[in-house]
Chain A
Amino acid sequence: MPALPYVANAVISGTLTGIVYGLMALGLSAIFGVVRLVNFAHGELMTLAMYGAVGAFQGLALDPFLTMIAAAVVFGGFGYVLQRGFINRFIHRPEHLQMLLMIALAIIIGNGLLLAFGPDARSVQTSYQLDSFELGPLLVDKARVYAAVAAVVATALLAAFFRFTLTGKAIRACADNPIGARVAGLPVAHLYAVTFGLGAASVAVAGCAMVQLIDVTPGLGPGYTLLAFVIVIVGGLGSMVGALLGGLAIGVSEALAGLLITPSAKSMVSFGLLVVLLLVRPQGLMGPGRR
């Protein structure tokens, strides 16, 4: 068992990374909770955003944190159009068809990225990328802190939106009672599209944060889609706080697993956690009580 500073460093690092994971999973949770669409292309959307951030950095010398805002807008719009114009037709089709539709999109986007950008890993090299904050024996990665802060801000904004704005409340109404919402005259298709747009925007922000931490390759998508699903299910489908908690749980548990067991097996912990949770509390940590 390594010394305390190392454990502390690992936990801090896991927490920070977990917060970014949480933001990524948030979008998925919102989309599933409201639109009831299983978005298997979630990881690919994030990969797309990461490439965008790299492009903005290399072409326009824009720091990814600045690109975040533009990315949120672009992806938000793109998500809205995609949902309203295309995916909406599939909302009432069987669940497996939706999943397959999104899987098809994921395959096309992922391989399209390979065709367009080639297999090499790309990264942004900001000036502070390799710096760390020194707090006594603790070394905290600067980029990770900034990314986590951005994720927290984005999450707070999203939460505020859903809580306090009229549109947000309308969306929550749709999620709780789709038929009632229609009866009440809410523009359901529009609201679904807004939700998808928000989900896409948040995954884009997560991507801009993530690109500081890892290099982007075309094949990143499926791994992160899977991770997002694990987090959402652990945290509870449709719960935003749950997504954050799930992200933290996964981030910290993987970090600790890396310290205590063979690091190459640390991914088993997330899947193990998923299996255990599905058996014990399938609605997730923050999910509603069993109906």
Chain B
Amino acid sequence: MTSDRPADAGDRRRLAPITAFTVAVALLALPLVGSSYLVSVATLALYLAYVGQAWNVMMGFAGQLSLGHSLYVGLGAYVAAGIFVHFGVGPWAGLWLAVAICSAVGAFIGLLAFRLRISGVQLSLLTVAFAELARIGFDHLDWFGGPGGLFLRVADRNHIDLLGFRGPPAMYYYAMLALAAGALGLCAFLLRRRPGYYWRAIREDEIAAQALGIDTFRWKMLAVVLSSAMTAIAGVFFAFYNNSLFPEQIFGFGRSIEIILGPVIGGLGTLFGPVVGAVALVLLGDGTTEILAKAGVELPGARQVVHGLLLLLVTIYLPNGLWPPLARALGVRPRRL
């Protein structure tokens, strides 16, 4: 990753904090000034940013391309929703169970990857296989509603019930904002500490790292488990935000691809990449729909083609993602994970 020295140091060095401050204020104020539609779109963007950040931990830290991350979203969602529907256990308690189970599954996959040395294509396909097994499996589990779906009882949406995680869209927006900011903060924090140095060492040259006495297996496992745990939280959010879960929709391969598009387009392995990528995807996706609608043109499937084209263009011309050039423009050195 190249580092850039800002050309006009004084001017550019001020730009980054100003931008950051403006963005922070805008994000905090959004539900107060923006329309309900804007809030729902922004919530989606933040969700994608968060889940992309979680996925990025596995890719950036442990270097493993997971194409089945929808597994953790789905498991987290179903576990929390299941115990809510059947036992009345609220989301804050359900969260712990969801995280525990997903961490265990993540650890299992990590074990397979690192102990049995399954990597590259085989590992990616293994992750897909697990997600598919979960999809078909949950399709046959009546306790979780089967293909008919699991519906959560929706109480009054106008009162804020933090304990039950129910309330107006603004509440969900702020919750997602907190999660996304938290994920960003966590990754930034880890980067500056020992884990970050070890991870970078392992990624640069694993054998050299081992020679230095770093227990590479343990640190790679940590990355995988952290990634799955964080993704589980996204699943719990999803369950209580949408209030209906269908195995086809939540475990699908399309969902896994949706998760990785943000970080890839934004910048694999960078700190802000997933955020930038998620925002770009949502803006472009919804923007396309808006423009087409206003032009009176109806092209089913156009939005997905735009996503594909964006992915293609980024892969060809900006293989390091949108964030690095953006960062340079802002006079910031793009931080890699």
Judging by beta carbons under 8 Å apart, are A274 and B126 in contact? yes
Question: Which single member of A111, A115, A218, A275 contacts B126 (CB below 8 Å)?
Answer: A275
Give how many A residues have a beta carbon under 8 Å from the other chain's beta carbons. Answer: 40
Is A6's CB within 8 Å of the partner chain B? Answer: no
Is A71's CB within 8 Å of the partner chain B? Answer: no
Given A264-B139, A279-B112, verify A271-B129 contact (CB < 8 Å): yes
Is B207's CB within 8 Å of the partner chain A? Answer: no
Judging by beta carbons under 8 Å apart, are B116 and A279 in contact? yes
Question: Using Cβ atoms and an 8 Å threshold, which residues of chain A touch B116?
Answer: 278-279, 282
Question: Using Cβ atoms and an 8 Å threshold, which residues of chain B touch A268?
Answer: 132-133, 136-137
Stretch from B31-39, B164-172, B273-281, B301-309 contacting the other chain:
B301-309
Is A222's CB within 8 Å of the partner chain B? Answer: yes
Is B24's CB within 8 Å of the partner chain A? Answer: no
Is B300's CB within 8 Å of the partner chain A? Answer: yes
Stretch from B7-15, B42-50, B229-237, B311-319 contacting the other chain:
B311-319
The complex places the Cα of A219 from the Cα of B304 at a distance, in Å, of 12
In chain A between 183 and 204, which residues have their CB closer than 8 angstroms to a CB of chain B? none
Given A101-B316, A103-B311, A108-B309, verify A272-B301 contact (CB < 8 Å): no
Is B122's CB within 8 Å of the partner chain A? Answer: yes
Given A95-B120, A111-B304, verify A274-B136 contact (CB < 8 Å): no
Judging by beta carbons under 8 Å apart, are A115 and B300 in contact? yes
Q: When each residue 242-275 of chain B gets 1 if its CB lies under 8 Å from chain A and 0 otherwise, what string results?
A: 0000000000011001001000100010000000
Is B65's CB within 8 Å of the partner chain A? Answer: yes
Stretch from A126-134, A160-168, A226-234 contacting the other chain:
A226-234
Chain B interface, >50% SS class = helix
Judging by beta carbons under 8 Å apart, are B125 and A104 in contact? no
Judging by beta carbons under 8 Å apart, are A38 and B312 in contact? no
Chain A interface, >50% SS class = helix
Question: Using Cβ atoms and an 8 Å threshold, which residues of chain A touch B121?
Answer: 32, 38, 95, 99, 229, 233, 237
The complex places the Cα of A279 from the Cα of B123 at a distance, in Å, of 11
- Using a CB–CB cutoff of 8 Å, the interface residues on chain B facing chain A are 59, 65, 112, 116-118, 120-122, 124-126, 128-130, 132-133, 136-137, 139-140, 253-254, 257, 260, 264, 268, 299-302, 304-305, 307-309, 311-312, 315-316, 319
- Using a CB–CB cutoff of 8 Å, the interface residues on chain A facing chain B are 32, 38, 93, 95-97, 99-101, 103-108, 110-112, 114-115, 119, 218, 222, 226, 229-230, 233, 237, 262, 264-265, 267-268, 271-272, 274-275, 278-279, 282
| The 5 nearest A-B residue pairs measured at CB | A107-B308, A104-B311, A104-B312, A108-B308, A114-B301
Sampled A-B contacts (8; CB under 8 Å): A101-B316, A107-B305, A115-B299, A222-B253, A229-B121, A230-B129, A275-B126, A282-B122
